[in-house]
Chains A and B, each alone.
Chain A
Amino acid sequence: GAGVSQSPRYKVAKRGQDVALRCDPISGHVSLFWYQQALGQGPEFLTYFQNEAQLDKSGLPSDRFFAERPEGSVSTLKIQRTQQEDSAVYLCASRPTGFNALGQETQYFGPGTRLLVL
């Protein structure tokens, strides 16, 4: 079946612009995660949704970052007034369940959106 998809795959923004990154999780997956991956680093947790509820946003680096998942499927990560330090790959992942049930813990990643802020 279809995996996690993200769009756009690449985004170039001028400093100060707002951007919106989209994630389409695997159909029926309850949990959705956003990560930020800087060059040469591992993914860093940003935020987590269980269906439409944003249960954890502790990883969002500033109030310029906002995420939503209004209908419990597609999610959008919005970054306002982009800064150069926002340049990174933004990865979305989904998981079948809302909790780490045995055999259901795996997160499936999308291809990422590479954001470059000039």
Chain B
Amino acid sequence: GENVEQHPSTLSVQEGDSAVIKCTYSDSASNYFPWYKQELGKRPQLIIDIRSNVGEKKDQRIAVTLNKTAKHFSLHITETQPEDSAVYFCAASIGNNDMRFGAGTRLTVKP
């Protein structure tokens, strides 16, 4: 089955700097790659997603890139703000019912 690895596990940046989180996946049939933000004690919230027919997608300060050949995708957050502090999860979806998550990255943005 699909295996998703996520790095780094923790990331600390100064406010205004950029943050990059990277994920790799194992199954080349995966075709949908969402990123979720989870604040402490709350539900995972979708922040951006990308499909296998697209290489890059941007939404304001957030962007995601996908390299299908290398089977990796990355989340880029620019001009980070303290409210960006949370745990971020990548996921890869194959078929209809199987979404595998990475182990998460705890992002801390220092004011």
B103 with A42: CB separation less than 8 A? yes
**Residue picked from A48, A55, A100, A110, most chain B C-beta under 10 Å:** A100
B93 with A100: CB separation less than 8 A? yes
Which of A68-118 touch B at CB < 8 Å?
91, 98-100, 102, 105-112
Q: Select from chain B the residue with minimum beta-carbon distance to A97.
A: B96
Q: Is the interface of B mostly helix, strand, loop or mixed?
A: strand
Q: How far is the CA of A107 from the CA of B91 in the complex (A)?
A: 11
Partner of B32, one of A41, A42, A100, A108: A100
A42 touching B101 in the complex, CB below 8 Å, given contacts A100-B31, A100-B32: yes
B97 with A109: CB separation less than 8 A? no
- A54 nearest CB across to chain B (Å): 10
Q: How far is the CA of A91 from the CA of B44 in the complex (A)?
A: 9
Q: How far is the CA of A105 from the CA of B51 in the complex (A)?
A: 10
A100 with B96: CB separation less than 8 A? yes
A41 touching B103 in the complex, CB below 8 Å, given contacts A48-B97, A105-B34, A105-B93: yes
A45 at the B interface (CB under 8 A): yes
Q: How far is the CA of A91 from the CA of B49 in the complex (A)?
A: 20
A to B CB contacts below 8 Å, 7 in the list: A45-B98, A45-B99, A48-B96, A50-B96, A91-B43, A100-B95, A107-B46
With A48-B97, A100-B96 known, 18 other A-B pairs at CB within 8 A are: A4-B43, A31-B96, A40-B103, A41-B103, A42-B4, A42-B6, A42-B89, A43-B89, A43-B101, A48-B96, A56-B97, A91-B43, A100-B31, A100-B93, A102-B51, A105-B34, A105-B93, A108-B46
What is B's interface to A at a CB cutoff of 8 Å?
A: 4, 6, 31-32, 34, 36, 42-46, 49, 51, 89, 91, 93, 95-104
What is A's interface to B at a CB cutoff of 8 Å?
A: 4, 31, 33, 35, 40-45, 48, 50, 55-56, 91, 98-100, 102, 105-112
